[in-house]
Amino acid sequence: MTDFARFQRIVKMIAFSPFSTAENALENINAVSEHDVSPELSAFLEANMQKGKKSAKHPLGVIEPTLATAIQENLEITCRSDETVRELIRAIRVHFVKFVKPLADGNLEQSQLGLGHSYSRSKVKFNPGRADNMIIQSIALLDQLDKDLNTFAMRVREWYGWHFPELKQIVKDNYIYAKCAAFIKDKSTLTDDKLAGLEEIVGDEAEAAAILKAAKASMGFDTSDMDMMNIVIFTERMVSLATYRKELYSYLEQKMATVAPNLSSLIGETVAARLILKAGSLTSLAKCPASTIQILGAEKALFRALKTKGNTPKYGIIYHSSFIGRASAKNKGRISRYLANKCAIASRIDSFIEEPTSAYGKQLREQVEERLNFYDTGEAPRKNVDVMTAVAVNLREAAAAAGGAAPSTASKKKRKASDLAEEEVAVAEPEKKKKKKKESISPVEEVEEEPKKKSKKDKKEKKAAEEAEQASSRSAH
């Protein structure tokens, strides 16, 4: 294999077909990676290989077994893919520039590098509207912003509270408190002229009047202009961060409606985004079984329970869903298992559906509601198969109506008739099997059975006659 002089004795170049353009090379390598036979490959093999039984004498060596199967099925060319073929193709790659002279002097390496970059770029391409990476970054940033805003709000309350301590008792919300602090600044400047602006921030006339009254009789100490300027700057930064947090949440809602509409409809945007973040991606979440989704986020508790042989956790991130909070204590584990099952279905639908829709998620949410009702009242919920089939039929009819081809009454009647026919066939099948069993007896066997029956009757009659004769002879004696 390594010595070209010896290798040349067993290998001979028959034909070589270069790619016409870089785009053509990319199309062919994509087809090979998906185990499809491209038109160029099909034409090349048909021109240089024998088909049918003749190809069995000289099989085609292919390094990829699945591609060999595709060639054999589509072109009827016998293929072979084993260790011998792989070793031969490896040696051909080593000595390829000696068989094809124009590819020498680094041309082969440059071509492979360009094709590799194009192939990788085509594989990395995705739909930017359905990028789950944006959701992962957004929910991670939201969680970080919540922690930071909570810390900053406490700092603003403490810092500005030295100057105007009564404001804490009147305004409880951190965001509104920061806006009030940035608006009031020095409490001595708060007059009746600013009452309208303060009322707009607080949203309540009585509360704004209470703030004005408290500012006039405040026990806080006065601050210098420099100190107040720093307090106001920090407070305005905190307000702008809180405003950005609201905008980021609305952006997350829009992305979730595009990327995972069914999962968001089922458990809400925040919990769904946290599940995707914990799994790593929507595809990874779709690959997880329902039992894994149920305890995502409770890994520490799970491994601690396994180590100490205690009770394993019933839920992880999905605990923040409203369904588990509404369930009774004895049903929390049951509803979490059921909800995880529905989350698995919704994530798989979102991951593999071509046109995003939230119809499945809404029905799955109704199913969870029915399950909660079942735990309380005992009313049996609908089956999942019936619900999913109904949604699929509705989506199909809606697509047909949108395309201008709404199903007519005649077609509906035909569907009903075909459904009835299928049911009749299904019912008639066991009866046919019974008939076939009866009919499986050949006429020869039936003919043979009749004399057997007659012979049995004759034997019985003979025995009865003999017993009667014996009885009569005994009576004569």
Q: How many CB atoms lie within 10 A of CB 18?
A: 10
Q: What is the pLDDT of residue 129?
A: 54
Q: What is the pLDDT of residue 73?
A: 85
Spatial contact of 274 and 297, defined as CB atoms under 8 Å apart: yes
DSSP helix, strand, coil percent of the chain (3-state; round to 5): 75, 0, 20
79: three-class secondary structure by DSSP: strand
Q: What is the pLDDT of residue 222?
A: 84
Of 56-60, 324-328, 396-400, where does mean pLDDT reach its minimum? 56-60
- Give the whole-number percent of the chain exceeding pLDDT 90: 33
| Residue in the block written with tokens 């939201």 | 142
Q: Residue 204: which of 165, 235, 176, 236 has the closest Cα?
A: 176
On the question of pLDDT at 270 being above 90, the answer is yes
As annotated, the residues of the chain forming the CATH 1.10.287.4070 domain(s) are 134-251
Q: Residue 232: which of 179, 162, 154, 176 has the closest Cα?
A: 179
Q: Would the CA dihedral through 91, 97, 101, 103 be positive or negative?
A: positive
Helix 269-279 with 225-259: angle, nearest 10 deg: 80
Higher pLDDT, 1 or 394: 394
Q: What is the pLDDT of residue 345?
A: 94
| Residue in the block written with tokens 């405003």 | 243
Q: How many CB atoms lie within 10 A of CB 255?
A: 21
Spatial contact of 239 and 175, defined as CB atoms under 8 Å apart: yes
- d(Cα 273, Cα 252) in Å, to the nearest integer? 8
Q: What is the pLDDT of residue 158?
A: 92
Element (H or E) spanning 457, and its range? helix 443-476
53: three-class secondary structure by DSSP: helix
CATH topology of domain 134-251: Helix Hairpins (1.10.287)
Take residue 171 and report the two structure tokens written for it. Answer: 């305004």
- d(Cα 292, Cα 340) in Å, to the nearest integer? 8
Q: What is the pLDDT of residue 30?
A: 86
> Mean pLDDT across the stretch 314-330?
90
- d(Cα 219, Cα 187) in Å, to the nearest integer? 11
pLDDT (tens digit per residue) in 206-241: 888 899 889 888 888 888 889 999 999 999 999 999
What torsion, rounded to 10 degrees, do the Cα atoms 387, 393, 397, 402 define?
Answer: 70
Longest dimension (CA), the chain: 151
On the question of pLDDT at 126 being above 80, the answer is no
As annotated, the residues of the chain forming the CATH 1.10.246.90 domain(s) are 261-402
Q: What is the pLDDT of residue 128?
A: 54
Q: Residue 2: which of 61, 60, 85, 87 has the closest Cα?
A: 87
On the question of pLDDT at 57 being above 80, the answer is no
Of the options 3.30.413.10, 3.40.250.10, 1.10.246.90, 1.10.3720.10, the CATH number for the domain spanning 261-402: 1.10.246.90
- d(Cα 297, Cα 305) in Å, to the nearest integer? 14
- d(Cα 218, Cα 189) in Å, to the nearest integer? 13
On the question of pLDDT at 265 being above 60, the answer is yes
Q: What is the DSSP string of 359-396?
A: HHHHHHHHHHHHHHHHHHH-PPPPPHHHHHHHHHHHHH
Model confidence at 460, in pLDDT bands (50, 70, 90)? low
Q: How many CB atoms lie within 10 A of CB 448?
A: 10
Residues forming a β-bridge with 60: 79
Q: What is the DSSP string of 101-117?
A: GGGTTTHHHHHHHHHHH
Q: Residue 193: which of 173, 171, 208, 175 has the closest Cα?
A: 208
Exposure string (b/e) for 400-422, b if CB count within 10 Å is 16 or more?
Answer: eeeeeeeeeeeeeeeeeeeeeee
